[in-house]
């Protein structure tokens, strides 16, 4: 492998990691507040199809991204209404959000399966830095959404651990009844965190259809939403590790394409299994020690909250 290939590989790893970073970060914040939303895949698909449709009809990819965000928000609002207001089971609601998202995105996306986007969002190399060998083209020649993903991680880390609002969010996730009794708005916090998760999943989906693949088809995200969920567990609910996990998975996906491109004598279907198998492996590694999960997961994760007073 020469320096060019190394550069290409690093670059495609980071590009593949970006949607996972968005979806994972959104889910991490939602889960920190105790909201376990298994609907990431469904929210991503709705974001992908809405963003694509708007990009095709307006010719403006940025409007598409904004539409993706709103689609994700709408789906998350549905989840929030059912689980937070109507006190429905989070696991069942999240699953149905995904099933609904698969069906609904296929329905609204039907006219767009053969439509092409005329304009996408171009890369914006940072002068100077982008000419560093290997790292330059990979890290400093991203689209604005790529840079934003990295900035977002810094902001989330700062918000969760350095601000009072972040502390409130975490305390709601650890013990909603205690948070409620000291006067924190548990319902409001969970809604806000869930909506943030939806917006990020929406962007992740829009990134897939508008910027990364330039197409829309049924189930475009092919399980990436579930991988993002797994990454949050793998990261033991810490933003820094989530970033590493997303980059690791980006690398796995990049290797898959690289192996296909250089014609490794393995059927492509087996290469396509790699990200899913890698997900299982990292989950096993991290869950092997029962306490790792128990000590790190937000204590009220997946539980409904009903204020009796």
Nearer to other proteins, 15 or 228 (CB): 228
**How far, in Å, CA of 194 to CA of 76, rounded?**
6
Residue 146 corresponds to which tokens in the numbers above? Answer: 């790529």
To other proteins, the closest distance from the beta carbon of 37 in angstroms equals: 13
Q: Which long-range contacts (CB under 8 A, 24 or more apart) does 226-230 make?
A: 226/40, 226/41, 226/279, 227/20, 227/275, 227/276, 227/279, 228/19, 228/20, 228/23, 228/24, 228/27, 228/40, 228/201, 228/204, 229/24, 229/27, 229/38, 229/40, 230/279, 230/282, 230/283
- DSSP-assigned states of every residue in 197-237: HHHHHHHHHHIIIIIIS----TTTTTTHHHHHHHHHHHTTT
**How far, in Å, CA of 235 to CA of 166, rounded?**
18
Contacts with other proteins in 258-277 (CB under 8 A)? 267, 269-270, 272-273, 276-277
Near other proteins by CB under 8 A: residue from 8, 50, 93, 209:
93
To other proteins, the closest distance from the beta carbon of 220 in angstroms equals: 14
For the chain, how long is the longest CA-to-CA vector?
A: 67
306: contact with other proteins by CB under 8 A: yes
Residue 292 corresponds to which tokens in the numbers above? Answer: 């790792």
Listed residue (238, 206, 228, 200) closest to 26, CA to CA: 200
115: contact with other proteins by CB under 8 A: no
Nearer to other proteins, 145 or 201 (CB): 201
Residue owning tokens 């394409």: 257
Nearer to other proteins, 86 or 129 (CB): 86
To other proteins, the closest distance from the beta carbon of 215 in angstroms equals: 17
Contacts with other proteins in 218-247 (CB under 8 A)? 218, 222-223, 226-227, 229-230, 233
Nearer to other proteins, 46 or 192 (CB): 46
To other proteins, the closest distance from the beta carbon of 45 in angstroms equals: 11
Residue owning tokens 């049924």: 218
Nearer to other proteins, 160 or 233 (CB): 233
Count residues binding other proteins (CB under 8 A).
Answer: 48
To other proteins, the closest distance from the beta carbon of 280 in angstroms equals: 5
To other proteins, the closest distance from the beta carbon of 203 in angstroms equals: 22
295: contact with other proteins by CB under 8 A: no
Q: How long a stretch of residues is the chain?
A: 309
Residue 98 corresponds to which tokens in the numbers above? Answer: 């995904």
Binding mask 38-77 for other proteins (x = CB under 8 A): x---------------------------------------
Near other proteins by CB under 8 A: residue from 18, 43, 82, 84:
82
Residue owning tokens 């990454």: 231
Contact positions vs other proteins (CB under 8 A): 38, 78, 81-82, 86-89, 91-93, 95-97, 99-104, 106-107, 110, 218, 222-223, 226-227, 229-230, 233, 267, 269-270, 272-273, 276-277, 279-280, 283-284, 287-288, 290, 293, 306, 308
């Amino acid at each position: 492998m020469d320096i060019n290939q190394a550069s290409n590989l690093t670059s495609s790893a980071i590009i593949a990691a970006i949607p996972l970073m968005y979806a994972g970060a959104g889910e991490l914040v939602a889960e920190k507040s105790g909201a376990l939303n298994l609907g990431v895949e469904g929210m991503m698909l709705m974001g992908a199809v809405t963003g694509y449709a708007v990009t095709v009809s307006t010719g403006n990819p940025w409007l598409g991204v904004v539409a993706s965000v709103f689609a994700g928000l709408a789906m998350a609002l549905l989840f929030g209404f059912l689980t937070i207001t109507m006190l429905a089971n989070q696991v069942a609601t999240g699953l149905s959000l995904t099933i609904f998202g698969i069906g609904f995105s296929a329905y609204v996306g039907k006219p767009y399966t053969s439509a092409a986007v005329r304009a996408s969002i171009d890369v914006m190399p940072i002068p100077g830095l982008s000419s560093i060998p290997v790292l330059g083209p990979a890290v400093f020649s991203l689209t604005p959404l790529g840079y934003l993903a990295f900035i977002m991680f810094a902001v989330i880390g700062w918000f969760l651990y350095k601000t009072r609002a972040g502390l409130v969010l975490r305390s709601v996730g650890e013990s909603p009844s205690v948070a409620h009794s000291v006067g924190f708005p548990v319902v409001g916090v969970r809604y806000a965190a869930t909506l943030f998760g939806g917006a990020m999943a929406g962007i992740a989906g829009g990134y897939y259809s508008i910027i990364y693949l330039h197409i829309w088809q049924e189930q475009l995200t092919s399980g990436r939403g579930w991988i993002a969920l797994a990454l949050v567990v793998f990261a033991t609910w810490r933003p820094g590790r989530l970033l590493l996990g997303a980059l690791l998975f980006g690398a796995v996906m990049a290797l898959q394409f690289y192996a296909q491109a250089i014609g490794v004598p393995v059927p492509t279907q087996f290469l396509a299994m790699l990200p899913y198998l890698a997900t299982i492996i990292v989950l096993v590694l991290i869950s092997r020690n029962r306490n790792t999960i128990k000590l790190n997961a937000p204590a009220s994760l997946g539980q409904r909250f009903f204020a009796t007073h």
